[in-house]
């Protein structure tokens, strides 16, 4: 019912200063859960109106396909204001289960997207629990079974990011968090269950999968076995040990996309100067550091397959405050593309992949 209220607000009384109504409180703990299943058709009307409202102000609307958050530290009003100020239409926001909650309750699922939608239906796309340490990495099979059960029951339109191969990030090395060094084979039993679910339902999922020559064939085999499973490979062309990733060239990726129309990438990577400390290498290899633009051969690939590349911020539970910077990075990436491709990568590709229709 709440959704219809938002529709009425859009139709009859949109305030000039805010693109959508602001949440009524900062903290998620102030809100009840919305009933399930999610009413995706009604939500889509609200989301579409928000995209159009941003467009009407002359700003290119952005949809972030890949971010996660710590619900206990999340500030709803702060995020709503930044999103409105900077033309962000939607964030597909996936909750993280912290190690304390997992240790205490053995939780495999976080139900907070229901609260998020009740608090602010116009700005977020409910996205399933992040596949990260400790729940996913400790018991991948149980985690994916629970995810499938809940996603099916609640009508989630999108699955969060599953870490199959994940090196330590620079900040994890600093914090000595070696448990984030994750290696779950993509063709393990849990991987097959995930791909099979996506194959049968058309619901996309995201993978964190470091670029390594030895990991490419197993992924291709899975994409072949499940040709209708839509896979979003996060952090396009982020290479942290170039010695292990010699095959990942623009022509190789072009071949990948030709062979696997079910493969997508998100464009969450560091800025041109970002260095991966453990290897001391510039990890965002897509940038031409002389011109400050994307390298032309990568740009050409995105221009040729625009619906296969999606804007993403990669917010995490330990870095909610990075939203303005991530938005700026994403807009910087778009600058290297033609206006038509910018529109697609910014939001149209998301809509087409997740809702199977053009916007
Ligand atoms: Zn990731």
Element (H, E) at 276: strand 275-276
Cα–Cα distance, 161 to 91 (Å, whole number): 14
Handedness of CA 351, 357, 358, 359 (dihedral sign): negative
Cα–Cα distance, 339 to 341 (Å, whole number): 6
Residue 281: its pLDDT value, please? 96
pLDDT at 9 over 50: no
Cα–Cα distance, 332 to 326 (Å, whole number): 10
Share of the chain above pLDDT 90, in %: 89
Here the tokens at position 104 are 């205490």
Residue 4: its pLDDT value, please? 47
Instruction: Give me ligand 1 centre to Cα 164, in Å.
Output: 10
Here the tokens at position 2 are 């709440």
3-state secondary structure of 152: helix
Where do the structural domains in the chain lie, given as residue ranges? Answer: 2-355
Residue 122: its pLDDT value, please? 98
pTM of the model: 0.93
Element (H, E) at 250: helix 250-259
- Local confidence band at 18 (pLDDT 50, 70, 90 cut-offs): confident
Instruction: Give me ligand 1 centre to Cα 325, in Å.
Output: 17
Beta strand pairing call for 293-294 and 287-288:
antiparallel
Beta strand pairing call for 281-282 and 275-276:
antiparallel
Cα–Cα distance, 345 to 352 (Å, whole number): 11
3-state secondary structure 188-233: CHHHHHHHHHHHHHCCEEEEEECCCHHHHHHHHHHHHHCCCCCEEE
Instruction: Give me ligand 1 centre to Cα 150, in Å.
Output: 22
pLDDT at 13 over 80: no
Residue 17: its pLDDT value, please? 59
Instruction: Give me ligand 1 centre to Cα 251, in Å.
Output: 24
Cα–Cα distance, 215 to 186 (Å, whole number): 8
Instruction: Give me ligand 1 centre to Cα 235, in Å.
Output: 7
| Chain segment 105-141, per-residue pLDDT in tens | 989 999 999 999 999 999 999 999 999 999 999 999 9
Unique residue bearing structure tokens 């009840």: 32
| Chain segment 159-201, per-residue pLDDT in tens | 999 999 999 887 787 887 777 788 999 999 999 999 999 999 9
Here the tokens at position 161 are 């990011």
Cβ partners under 8 Å of residue 137, min gap 6: 163, 179, 182, 184
Please state which CATH number belongs to domain 2-355. Answer: 3.20.20.140
Instruction: Give me ligand 1 centre to Cα 245, in Å.
Output: 17
Instruction: Give me ligand 1 centre to Cα 107, in Å.
Output: 21
- Local confidence band at 10 (pLDDT 50, 70, 90 cut-offs): very low
- Local confidence band at 7 (pLDDT 50, 70, 90 cut-offs): very low
Instruction: Give me ligand 1 centre to Cα 286, in Å.
Output: 17
3-state secondary structure of 83: helix
Here the tokens at position 88 are 């962000």
């Amino acid at each position: 019912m709440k959704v219809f209220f938002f529709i009425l607000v859009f139709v009859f009384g949109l305030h000039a200063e805010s693109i959508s109504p602001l949440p009524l409180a900062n903290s998620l703990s102030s809100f009840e859960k919305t009933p399930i299943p999610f009413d995706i058709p009604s939500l889509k009307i609200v989301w579409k109106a928000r995209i159009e409202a941003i467009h009407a102000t002359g700003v290119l609307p952005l949809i972030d396909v890949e971010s996660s958050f710590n619900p206990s530290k999340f500030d709803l009003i702060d995020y709503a204001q930044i999103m409105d100020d900077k033309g962000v239409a939607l964030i597909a926001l996936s909750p993280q289960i912290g190690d304390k909650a997992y240790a205490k309750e053995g939780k495999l699922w976080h139900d907070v997207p229901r609260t998020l939608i009740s608090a602010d239906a116009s700005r977020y796309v409910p996205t399933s629990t992040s596949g990260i340490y400790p729940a996913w990495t400790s018991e991948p099979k149980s985690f994916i079974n629970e995810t499938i059960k809940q996603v099916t029951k609640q009508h989630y339109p999108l699955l969060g990011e599953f870490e199959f191969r994940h090196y330590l990030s620079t900040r994890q090395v600093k914090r000595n968090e070696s448990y984030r060094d994750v290696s779950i084979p993509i063709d393990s039993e849990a991987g097959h269950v995930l791909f099979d679910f996506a194959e049968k339902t058309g619901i996309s999922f995201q993978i964190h999968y470091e670029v390594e020559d030895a990991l490419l064939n197993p992924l291709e085999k899975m994409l072949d076995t499940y040709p209708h499973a839509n896979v979003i490979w996060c952090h396009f062309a982020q290479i942290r040990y170039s010695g292990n990733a010699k095959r990942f060239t623009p022509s190789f990726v072009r071949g990948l996309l030709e062979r696997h129309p079910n493969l997508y990438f998100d464009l969450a990577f560091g800025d041109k100067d970002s260095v991966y400390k453990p290897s001391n290498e510039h990890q965002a290899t897509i940038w031409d550091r002389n011109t400050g633009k994307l390298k032309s051969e990568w740009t050409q690939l995105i221009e040729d397959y625009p619906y296969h590349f999606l804007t993403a911020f990669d917010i995490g539970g330990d870095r909610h405050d990075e939203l303005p910077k991530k938005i700026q990075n994403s807009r910087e990436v778009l600058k290297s593309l033609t206006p038509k491709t910018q529109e697609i990568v910014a939001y149209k590709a998301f809509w087409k992949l997740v809702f199977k229709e053009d916007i």
